Amino acid sequence: MLGIDGCLKQIMEIPGSHSATLVDGASGLAVAAAGRADPVDEHEDAAGTTDVVRAVLATPALSTTRTGDDIEEIIVCGTRGYHLIALINDAFEGRLFLHLLVDRDKGNLALARLRVRELLGEMAGGEGA
């Protein structure tokens, strides 16, 4: 019976995790955050990443099929780290997504992606799903 904070704590245990923010894309609200010292940052983070998600969803050039497919992840690779924006495509109201910053030297992008999918699945499915 994990709450949101419990899930974020597990996400922060992914090797190389620097910070994680759970954002409601419909409003740009930072629902929860972990790994940040400054509380102002998480709201700026939420507003900024919401714009990115919106832009990607509104760009037909970034869809794979003619009718448009759903976006699961947006990855931005910096020289020092990876930004992983994982969208929760289920019945959640709004468009919730997780923004995870992974250190490039200490972390592994493929591992982080797998773990994030697993944990978000657990969170969305509730216990025993």
Partner 1 sequence: MRSAAAADPGVAPAHADPPIVTALRRAEADERTGVLHAGDEGAFFLDRGAVTYVTNRATTGLDRLVMSSGTVSAEEWGRVLLAVAERDGAPLREAGRAPGLGRARLEMFALLAAFDAASSLLGSAAEPRFEAGPPHWLAPVCRITPATLVLERTRRRDRLDAEWPDDRADTAPVVPVRRVRRQRVILTGLQAELLLNADGHRTAAGLALDLGRTTFGCLLAVRALAAARLIERPGPAVRPVAPALATAPAPGEPPAFWTPPDHDVLVRLRAALEELA
Q: For residue 116, give the nearest of 12, 36, 30 by alpha carbon.
A: 12
Instruction: Give the nearest distance from C-beta 46 to partner 1 in angstroms.
Output: 10
Q: For residue 97, give the nearest of 39, 33, 44, 10 by alpha carbon.
A: 33
- Residue 73's SS3 state is strand
Round to whole Å and give the CA distance between 77 and 36: 20
Instruction: Give the nearest distance from C-beta 19 to partner 1 in angstroms.
Output: 19
**What would the x/- binding string for partner 1 be over residues 32 to 71, using CB under 8 A?**
-----------x---x------x--xx-x-----------
Is residue 121 close enough to count as binding partner 1 by CB under 8 A? no
User: Which amino acid type is present at position 118?
Assistant: E
Q: Which stretch binds partner 1 (CB under 8 A): 9-17, 79-87, 100-108, 119-127?
A: 119-127
